[in-house]
Amino acid sequence: MIRLLVVCLGNICRSPMAEGALRSRIEAAGLAEMIDVDSCGTGDWHAGDAPDPRAIRCAAGHGVDIAALRARTLEAADYRAFDVLLCADASTLRIVQSRRPADASAQAALLLDWAEQGGGDVPDPYTGDAAGFETVWPLVDQAADAIVERHRRLAPGARGSRIIRS
C-alpha cells in the first residue's frame, strides 16, 4: 500500500479537492487496497472545518462528494505515516520541508510534478470567486487520473508490477 497525503495551506480548498478527486479515481479503478489518501493543511486556521462551500459545490459538480471531509493540520507523525506528501504549491512544499523531523520517511513533492503533469503550482482559489475553483478542478483531477493510471499499470498481476514511490 502506498499512502499519499495532499497538503495545502488551510486544508479547505485545494487539498480536499485533490483528496476527493484521488479517492474517486482510486475507487473507480478498484485500487483502494493499494492506495490510501488523506489531506491536511500547514496552518491550523480551519482545523475541524468542512471544505470551503465553493470547493464542495465545485467537486459535487464533477460528481465528487467532499462535504464530509474535515480540515486538519500537518503533524510530525504524518512524515512517518505517509509515503509521499503531495504539496499544492512551492510555498507549501518549502513549509513542509522546513518542518521535516529527523526521523521522517516520507518524500515531499509538488503534486503536479509527482503526478507528471508538468511543473507548477495548483493556484489557491480561496480569495477569489467560484471560477477559481473551476480552474483548480481540472488540475487536481488530471493529477489524480495520472497517479491512478500509473499505479493501475503497476498493480499486482501486471507485468513488472511494483508500486512506485517517486
Is 8 an active-site residue? yes
Write a three-state SS string for the chain. CEEEEEEECCCCCHHHHHHHHHHHHHHHHCCCCCEEEEEEECCCCCCCCCCCHHHHHHHHHCCCCCCCCCCCECCCCHHHHCCEEEECCHHHHHHHHHCCCCCCCCEEEEHHHHCCCCCCCCCCCCCCCHHHHHHHHHHHHHHHHHHHHHHHHCCCCCCCCCCCCC
Marked catalytic residue, from 8, 40, 58, 87: 8
Selected catalytic residue, list 78, 89, 124, 141: 124
Residue in 13, 14, 23, 54 annotated catalytic: 14
Q: Which residues are catalytic?
A: 8, 14, 124
